[in-house]
């Protein structure tokens, strides 16, 4: 695990918080979800799906640096994964990949995982309705 900086973030988590990957809304997408967590942070994911695999994942949040880091890492981890693997991503996987965030921000990984799972379910619902 990477060494923690003074503020509780690993250097990788701090990088994702300050320079998040895939933050923003893509021009076209196949799935979307938006969830507001108990802390008041809202996170959104947009997925582009090709042949049952997440081609690209985009996120946005109005939350803190922990929320940004977790959303960024979840989007990064989701790419090139099957919908099943993406939908099964756990908060622990996100936290492990980040290498450490402040304890008070660890709930943000749950928000990221839940929102990503909801986006995968949205894709399944759109597919069932023929809207993809």
| Sequence ranges of the domains in the chain | 11-127
Q: Beta-carbon neighbour count of residue 27 at 10 Å?
A: 6
SS3 label, residue 21: coil
**Residue 61 pairs with which residues in a beta bridge?**
43
CATH 1.25.40.340 corresponds to the domain 11-127: no
pLDDT at residue 130, as a whole number: 78
pLDDT at residue 1, as a whole number: 43
Query: How confident is the chain (132 residues) per 10-residue block, as mean pLDDT?
Result: 70 96 96 95 97 97 97 98 96 97 96 98 90 62
The predicted model scores a pTM of 0.93
């Amino acid at each position: 695990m990477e060494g923690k900086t003074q503020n509780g973030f690993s250097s990788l988590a701090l990088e994702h918080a300050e320079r998040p990957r895939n933050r923003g809304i893509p021009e076209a997408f196949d799935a979307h979800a938006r969830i507001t967590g108990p802390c008041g942070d809202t996170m959104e994911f947009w997925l582009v799906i090709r042949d049952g695999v997440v081609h690209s994942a985009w996120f946005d949040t109005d939350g803190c640096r922990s929320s940004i880091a977790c959303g960024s890492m979840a989007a990064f981890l989701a790419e090139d994964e099957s919908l099943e693997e993406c939908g099964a991503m756990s908060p622990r996987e996100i936290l492990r990949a980040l290498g450490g965030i402040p304890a008070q921000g660890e709930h943000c990984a749950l928000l990221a995982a839940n929102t990503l799972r909801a986006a995968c379910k949205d894709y399944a619902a759109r597919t069932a309705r023929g809207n993809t």
